[in-house]
C-alpha cells in the first residue's frame, strides 16, 4: 500500500531505483528503454555526469536563497545564456519550477503588459482546440484537451478557441496545404474580429503540438500567418515550447524553423532535462521595458522561482547540448528514426500517420486507414499499448485524448538526444512487438 496519491489510484507503478543513459531500472531488476524521455523531458538521458556534478557543486555552495532577498550566479548565468542564444530580442527570462507555472506566468505577464499600456479591456486570450498548456487553472483554460478540462470547466476563464493546425485529419482530400493553411488563418482572423481585438491579450499555441495529438507540426507558413494577424490586430503571440523547445526538434526553439519571433515563449521539461524541476518564460525586450517604465515590478512570484540548484542543472544541460553538438544529432537521429519507423509501420493497417520534428515523433493509430477512423474510446487502446510496452521494457507515451470532439489514439516518442541508432532500432523492434500484441488483444 502506498500513501502517495498516484496517477492511477488503483495501481502502484513500479519503483524506479536507478537510471543511466537511456535505461531505467526498477526494484525487481527489470530494465526499460526510455523511448519517450519520460514525457519528452530527459533529453540528455539519465545520470549525466556533468549535470550531476553541477548540481552537487551548487548544493555545496548554496542550495537556496529566496528571490525576495537575493539573486544567485546560477540563475543569472542561465538567464544570460538563454537570452544570448534566443533569437531576436527574446532577452528576458523568468525562472519558475515547471511548465504549468511557466504558462501561468506568461498569461499574467501578458495581461499586465496591456494593463500598463493603458488597455485594461484586454482580458481575453485566444487559443486552439487541440493543445495542452498545463494542469493549473489558467493553463487548463487556454488548453484544448477536453478530457483534462471537462471536470473543471466551471472554474475556468472563458477562452475562445480556433481549429488546430492538424493537416492529417483536417485537410480535405484535394485541398492543397496552402489552401488549408489559408483557411485556418481566415478562421483565426474571424475569431479575432468576433472577440474584438481591443479585448484580446494574445494568441496561445504550441509550436509543435505534443501530448494532445502526438507531435503534430504546423504547416509551412502557418505561424508566419499567425504572427502577421497578431501584429495586425495588436495581439501578443505566446508560444508554448514546454515540450518542443530546448532542442527537441533539432533547433533550440521549434519556432526558429517557422520563421517567426513570438513575444513570449514558455519552457519546461527539457530545460532541466529531468534533473531538476524548472520552467521559464522568455520575454521580448518591449514587454519587460513597458513594466519597467510603468509600475516597475511584475506582480507575480513563487517561493522556488530562480532556484539555484535547478538553475545550475539547467545551465549544465545547455552547456552539454552546445558542447556535444546535440542539436545536429537530434536532426540526424530524428531523420534516421522516422525512416526506421516508416520502414516498420509505413504500410501498417493501423498506423495512419507518422510525423514530427527532430526527436519529437508521433504515430497516429486508426481502426481503418482509408477513412482515418479512430479506435473506439472504450477499447482504451492507448492504455493497453502502454502496458504491453512496459512488459517489453519500453517506455513510450501513448495517449487517447479527445481532440475537437474526436477521440484518437496516438503514441508519442521522444528519446533522449544521446540515443544511438542501434538503440533506435531496438526501440522500433520492441514497438513493433508491442503494437502486434496490443492490437491482437484489442481487435
User: Residue 33 and residue 31: Cα distance in Å, rounded?
Assistant: 7
Q: Is 37 in the site for ligand PLP (CB under 6 A)?
A: no
Residue 26 DSSP SS3: strand
Contact 356, 208 (CB under 8 A): yes
CB of 182 to ligand PLP, least distance (A): 26
Q: Is 211 in the site for ligand PLP (CB under 6 A)?
A: yes
- Which residues ranging from 347 to 406 are in contact with ligand PLP (CB under 6 A)? none
Q: Which of 243, 278, 311, 360 binds ligand PLP (CB under 6 A)?
A: 243
Long-range contacts of 31-34 (CB under 8 A, 24+ apart): 31/393, 32/390, 32/393, 32/394, 32/395, 33/393, 33/394, 33/395, 33/423, 33/426, 33/427, 33/430, 34/395, 34/415, 34/416
Q: Is 210 in the site for ligand PLP (CB under 6 A)?
A: yes
- Which residues ranging from 246 to 305 are in contact with ligand PLP (CB under 6 A)? 268
Residue 268 has what DSSP assignment? -
CB of 372 to ligand PLP, least distance (A): 24
Q: What is the 3-state secondary structure (H, E, C) of 91-139?
A: CEEEEECCHHHHHHHHHHHHHHHHHHCCCCCCCEEEEECCCCCCCCHHH
Q: Which is nearer to ligand PLP, 345 or 417 (CB)?
A: 417
Strand 161-162 and strand 200-206: pairing? unpaired
Considering only the stretches 230-238, 239-247, 252-260, 301-309, report the one whose residues sit in contact with ligand PLP under the rule CB under 6 A: 239-247
User: Residue 334 and residue 326: Cα distance in Å, rounded?
Assistant: 12
Residue 300 DSSP SS3: coil
CB of 23 to ligand PLP, least distance (A): 23
Q: Is 39 in the site for ligand PLP (CB under 6 A)?
A: yes
Q: Which is nearer to ligand PLP, 134 or 416 (CB)?
A: 134
The separation between the first and the last C-alpha atoms of the chain, rounded to the nearest angstrom, is: 34
Nearest-CB residue for ligand PLP: 99
Q: Which of 116, 167, 240, 353 binds ligand PLP (CB under 6 A)?
A: 240
Considering only the stretches 22-30, 206-214, 357-365, 375-383, report the one whose residues sit in contact with ligand PLP under the rule CB under 6 A: 206-214
In 3D space, the residue among 279, 230, 34 whose CA is nearest the CA of residue 127 turns out to be 230
Residues sharing a CB contact under 8 Å with residue 84, sequence separation 6 or more, in sequence order: 91
Considering only the stretches 131-139, 181-189, 301-309, 348-356, report the one whose residues sit in contact with ligand PLP under the rule CB under 6 A: 131-139
CB of 400 to ligand PLP, least distance (A): 15
Q: Is 130 in the site for ligand PLP (CB under 6 A)?
A: no
Residues sharing a CB contact under 8 Å with residue 267, sequence separation 6 or more, in sequence order: 99, 102, 241, 242, 245, 246, 279, 280, 281, 282
Distance, CA of 251 to chain centre: 14
Q: Is 245 in the site for ligand PLP (CB under 6 A)?
A: no
Q: Which of 114, 125, 132, 255 binds ligand PLP (CB under 6 A)?
A: 132
CB of 100 to ligand PLP, least distance (A): 3
- Which residues ranging from 68 to 107 are in contact with ligand PLP (CB under 6 A)? 98-100, 103
Contact 219, 165 (CB under 8 A): yes
Strand 264-267 and strand 236-240: pairing? parallel
Considering only the stretches 49-57, 236-244, 285-293, 301-309, report the one whose residues sit in contact with ligand PLP under the rule CB under 6 A: 236-244
Q: Which is nearer to ligand PLP, 139 or 439 (CB)?
A: 139
Contact 31, 23 (CB under 8 A): yes
Return the beta strands (E) in 226-375 as ranges. Answer: 236-240, 264-267, 279-283, 351-357, 360-365
CB of 154 to ligand PLP, least distance (A): 22
Q: Which of 133, 333, 350, 430 binds ligand PLP (CB under 6 A)?
A: 133
CB of 306 to ligand PLP, least distance (A): 17
Q: Which is nearer to ligand PLP, 140 or 424 (CB)?
A: 140
Q: Which is nearer to ligand PLP, 266 or 283 (CB)?
A: 266
Contact 162, 129 (CB under 8 A): yes
Q: Which of 37, 45, 134, 334 binds ligand PLP (CB under 6 A)?
A: 134
In 3D space, the residue among 160, 131, 161 whose CA is nearest the CA of residue 243 turns out to be 131
Q: Which is nearer to ligand PLP, 143 or 374 (CB)?
A: 143
Total residues contacting ligand PLP (rule CB under 6 A)?
15
Contact set with ligand PLP (CB under 6 A): 39, 98-100, 103, 132-134, 206, 210-211, 240, 242-243, 268
Amino acid at each position: 500500500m502506498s500513501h502517495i496519491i498516484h496517477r492511477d489510484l488503483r495501481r502502484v507503478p513500479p519503483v524506479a531505483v536507478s537510471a543511466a543513459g537511456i535505461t531505467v531500472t526498477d526494484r525487481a531488476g527489470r530494465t526499460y528503454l526510455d523511448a519517450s524521455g519520460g514525457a519528452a523531458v530527459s533529453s540528455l538521458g539519465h545520470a549525466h555526469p556533468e549535470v550531476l556534478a553541477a548540481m552537487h557543486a551548487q548544493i555545496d555552495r548554496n542550495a537556496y536563497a529566496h528571490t525576495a532577498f537575493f539573486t544567485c550566479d546560477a540563475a543569472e548565468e542561465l538567464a544570460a545564456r538563454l537570452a544570448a542564444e534566443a533569437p531576436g530580442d527574446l532577452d528576458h527570462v523568468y525562472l519558475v519550477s515547471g511548465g504549468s507555472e511557466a504558462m501561468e506566468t506568461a498569461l499574467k505577464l501578458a495581461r499586465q503588459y496591456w494593463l500598463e499600456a493603458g488597455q485594461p479591456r484586454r482580458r481575453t486570450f485566444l487559443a486552439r482546440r487541440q493543445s495542452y498548456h498545463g494542469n493549473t487553472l489558467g493553463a487548463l483554460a487556454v488548453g484544448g484537451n477536453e478530457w483534462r478540462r471537462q471536470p473543471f470547466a466551471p472554474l475556468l476563464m472563458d477562452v475562445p478557441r480556433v481549429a488546430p493546425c492538424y493537416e492529417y485529419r483536417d485537410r480535405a482530400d484535394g485541398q492543397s496545404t496552402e489552401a488549408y493553411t489559408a483557411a485556418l488563418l481566415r478562421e483565426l482572423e474571424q475569431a479575432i474580429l468576433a472577440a474584438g481585438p481591443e479585448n484580446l491579450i494574445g494568441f496561445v499555441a504550441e509550436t509543435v503540438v505534443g501530448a494532445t495529438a502526438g507531435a503534430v507540426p504546423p504547416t509551412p507558413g502557418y505561424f508566419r500567418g499567425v504572427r502577421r494577424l497578431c501584429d495586425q490586430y495588436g495581439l501578443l503571440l505566446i508560444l508554448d515550447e514546454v515540450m518542443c523547445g530546448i532542442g527537441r526538434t533539432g533547433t533550440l526553439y521549434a519556432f526558429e524553423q517557422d520563421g517567426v519571433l513570438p513575444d513570449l515563449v514558455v519552457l519546461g521539461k527539457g530545460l532541466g532535462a529531468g534533473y531538476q524541476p524548472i520552467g521559464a518564460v522568455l520575454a521580448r525586450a518591449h514587454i519587460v521595458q513597458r513594466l519597467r517604465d510603468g509600475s516597475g515590478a511584475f506582480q507575480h512570484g513563487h517561493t522556488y522561482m530562480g532556484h539555484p540548484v535547478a538553475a545550475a542543472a539547467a545551465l549544465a544541460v545547455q552547456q552539454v547540448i552546445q558542447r556535444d553538438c546535440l542539436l545536429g544529432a537530434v536532426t540526424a537521429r530524428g531523420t534516421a528514426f522516422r525512416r526506421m519507423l516508416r520502414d516498420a509501420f509505413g504500410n501498417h493497417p493501423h498506423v495512419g500517420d507518422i510525423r514530427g520534428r527532430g526527436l519529437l515523433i508521433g504515430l497516429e493509430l486508426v481502426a481503418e486507414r482509408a477513412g482515418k477512423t479512430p479506435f473506439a474510446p472504450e477499447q482504451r487502446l492507448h492504455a493497453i499499448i502502454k502496458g504491453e510496452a512496459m512488459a517489453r521494457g519500453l517506455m513510450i507515451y501513448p495517449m487517447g485524448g479527445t481532440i475537437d470532439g474526436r477521440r484518437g489514439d496516438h503514441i508519442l516518442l521522444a528519446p533522449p538526444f544521446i540515443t544511438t541508432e542501434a538503440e533506435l532500432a531496438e526501440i522500433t523492434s520492441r514497438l513493433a512487438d508491442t503494437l502486434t500484441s496490443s492490437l491482437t488483444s484489442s481487435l
